[in-house]
A and B are shown apart, each in its own frame.
Chain A
Amino acid sequence: EAGVAQSPRYKIIEKRQSVAFWCNPISGHATLYWYQQILGQGPKLLIQFQNNGVVDDSQLPKDRFSAERLKGVDSTLKIQPAKLEDSAVYLCASYSGGAGAATSEQFFGPGTRLTVL
């Protein structure tokens, strides 16, 4: 099966500009996550969707970050305006399991590397 797709793979912007990232999860996966991975650190959850509803956005800096998953499939993450400290890899993941599932695994996309100058 096709994996989690993300675009763009790389983005360089000036501070105070806006940027958007796109994610297409594995077909049929209802749960979608966005993680931020700063260099030298582990990924940190920004937001979790179940279908098109938000399950957890407690770590999302809502003054500048927004995310949507309008039709319960693709998702976009936006930063406006960007700050220097937003330089990171943004990872999208989708979840294969569910209650009673024999397996459970989050599948990760390749990520988008953002550099804010």
Chain B
Amino acid sequence: SQQGEEDPQALSIQEGENATMNCSYKTSINNLQWYRQNSGRGLVHLILIRSNEREKHSGRLRVTLDTSKKSSSLLITASRAADTASYFCATGPYNNNDMRFGAGTRLTVKP
């Protein structure tokens, strides 16, 4: 069964705009991770945020975590056409055991 649910399901923006994707989950977590997938190929790990962290940055990525609301958001600033991909959040209760993914947000960045 899915653990995380991303919102929106699809997002289309112009190059240079910011893209925000949200993720909600159901059970307690130790960490939450965001992954990217291009054209139905393998997933690439983007960023991990631990349950005791509220915000984390990596380049143009900013992730927030609100454990009281069981939600996370991924912000991509100054988007590029190359950011076009599907983005998934994943939660794992104990290290990497049994990591569960949401259905993903399909981001399209128009040049």
> Do the two chains belong together in a single complex?
no
Chain B residues with CB under 8 Å of chain A are: none
